[in-house]
């Protein structure tokens, strides 16, 4: 789950050109190609940068596209990439776990500094580190609570689903008849599925977690977790991990598969869309032509102000009104404790009327729109749809020919609705949602 750069992205920042064959690699897999832009226009040199880390402190990989890289520098880079891989392989971590669970409770230690389960022979090495003692089976079954969230890193920006949202998602998935969940960057959902499966005999749902956080390899087998970078569709475990994913997507006995993904919100939408399309293609290939024109069922969890960007890449998707909440994010908690309502929504290619939202949380069914909407979302006769995006009741502007936020007023200067005290002069920098100049993100026409 996630909340990276998001609204604070530099508006005149570089534009993504994408993943190109034979791109150079950093420790996070193939780098992405960007081009320096100014005022939304492409100009200047193209360069490669790390796909996963927006913050140069986390991964400072950089190379001009037209740069000649010497043999010795290439060798040094290979060496660097090798040295920046995790200490243990996934297979070694699985072996360590087997030994760990055999230990008596008094000998089960977890090093908080190294974020690692410790075997007694290793205590000495970690003697001056902070550690947790007596790690119970329950704790091992809830690694997302045991591991501390990597919040400072824009890469991982780990904000985990609040329990309420997590249980709602799982109920929705099971009610829709899905038996396999490809959990892309949703460790909490994966965890609750795995622990239900181990506790309840008649619980038939299985999950495969794809996540960039390798710490999870300590708790899950190679069939349950793949170390994966969703910005460049890179499986760190190579062909074997790729095959694990392919096998999981194969519908045994017609068991239906759904992908649920919760990427960092500051992440590059087009890079994510490209990876998700590749996962969807992988799903399609596993079938014997049974899917012909179908798309792999998907829940993409993302803020509502990215709606136009997501629809650009996935025209079949639509946005649900359900507000997804996070545990460790002050802004996006539900109800009284959070500073405001969560802007995070579910985008899906499933038929909207099938997505039943909880009445007790104030959602209701609109028979005209044939979907569940939040209580404040009134059907507008002129737009002929339930137009609110943020849970408040919006109002129709006849001049704009659309509904706008309740706090907006029509400005004859700008010829559109905006906040009362907005600055009318045209802004120079390109808008970070659509890249065009002349307006800020908050008033982007493509968001309406």
What are 142's two structure tokens?
């809830």
**Whole-Å CA distances, 151 to 4, 257, 339, 406:** 9, 30, 19, 33
* Predicted TM-score of the model (pTM): 0.86
Judge residue 128's burial from the number of C-beta atoms within 10 Å of its C-beta, 0-12 exposed, 13-18 middle, 19 or more buried: exposed
Structure confidence by residue, pLDDT tens digits, 180-203 = 999 999 999 999 999 999 999 999
Residue 34 CA to residue 41 CA, distance in Å, equals 13
Residue 447: its pLDDT value, please?
A: 59
Residue 203 CA to residue 247 CA, distance in Å, equals 21
Question: In a structure prediction context, what are the per-residue pLDDT tens digits for the chain, which is 448 residues long?
Answer: 543 333 334 445 788 999 998 899 999 999 999 998 776 666 788 999 999 987 777 888 999 999 999 999 999 999 999 999 998 999 999 999 999 999 999 999 999 989 999 999 999 999 999 999 999 999 999 999 898 766 544 444 567 888 889 999 999 999 999 999 999 999 999 999 999 999 999 999 999 999 999 999 999 999 999 999 999 999 999 999 999 999 999 877 778 999 999 998 877 899 999 999 999 999 988 765 555 668 999 999 999 999 999 999 999 999 999 999 887 654 554 444 444 578 899 999 999 999 999 998 889 999 988 999 988 888 888 888 888 888 788 999 888 889 889 889 898 888 889 988 888 865 445 565 665 666 666 667 665 4
Judge residue 303's burial from the number of C-beta atoms within 10 Å of its C-beta, 0-12 exposed, 13-18 middle, 19 or more buried: middle
């Amino acid at each position: 789950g996630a909340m990276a750069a998001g609204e604070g992205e530099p508006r005149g920042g570089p534009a993504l050109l994408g993943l190109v064959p034979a791109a150079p690699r950093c420790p996070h897999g193939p780098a992405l190609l960007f081009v320096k832009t100014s005022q939304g226009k492409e100009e200047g040199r193209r360069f490669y940068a790390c796909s996963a880390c927006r913050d140069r402190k986390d991964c400072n990989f950089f190379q001009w596209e037209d740069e000649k890289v010497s043999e010795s520098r290439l060798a040094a880079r290979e060496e660097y990439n090798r040295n920046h891989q995790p200490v243990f392989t996934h297979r070694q971590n699985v072996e360590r776990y087997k030994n760990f669970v055999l230990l008596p409770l008094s000998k089960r230690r977890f090093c908080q500094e190294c974020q690692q389960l410790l075997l007694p022979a290793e205590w000495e090495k970690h003697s001056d580190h902070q550690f947790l003692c007596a790690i119970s089976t329950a704790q091992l079954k809830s690694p997302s609570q045991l591991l501390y969230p990597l919040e400072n890193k824009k890469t991982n920006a780990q904000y985990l689903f609040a329990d309420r949202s997590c249980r709602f998602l799982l109920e929705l998935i099971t009610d829709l008849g899905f038996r396999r969940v490809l959990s892309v960057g949703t460790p909490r959902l994966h965890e609750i599925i795995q622990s239900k499966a181990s506790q309840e005999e008649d619980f038939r749902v299985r999950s495969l977690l794809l996540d960039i956080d390798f710490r999870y390899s300590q708790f899950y087998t190679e069939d349950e977790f793949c170390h994966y970078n969703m910005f460049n569709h890179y499986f760190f475990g190579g062909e074997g991990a790729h095959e694990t994913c392919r096998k999981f997507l194969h519908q045994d006995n017609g068991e239906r598969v759904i992908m649920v993904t919760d990427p960092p919100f500051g992440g590059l939408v087009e890079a994510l869309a490209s990876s998700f399309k590749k996962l969807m293609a992988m799903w399609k290939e596993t079938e014997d032509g049974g899917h012909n024109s179908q798309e792999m069922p998907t829940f993409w969890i993302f803020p509502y102000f990215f709606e136009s960007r997501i629809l650009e890449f996935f025209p079949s998707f639509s946005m649900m009104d359900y507000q997804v909440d996070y545990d460790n994010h002050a802004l996006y908690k539900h109800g009284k404790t959070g500073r405001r309502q969560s802007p995070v929504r579910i985008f899906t290619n499933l038929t909207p009327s099938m997505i039943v939202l909880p009445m007790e949380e104030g959602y209701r069914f609109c028979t005209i729109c044939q979907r569940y909407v939040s209580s404040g979302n009134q059907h507008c006769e002129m737009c002929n749809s339930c137009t609110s995006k943020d849970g408040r009741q919006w109002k129709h502007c006849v001049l704009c020919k659309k509904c706008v936020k309740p706090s907006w007023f029509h400005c004859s200067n700008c010829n559109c609705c905006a906040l009362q005290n907005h600055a009318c002069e045209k802004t120079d920098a390109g808008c970070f949602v659509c890249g065009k100049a002349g307006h800020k993100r908050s008033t982007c026409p493509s968001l309406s």
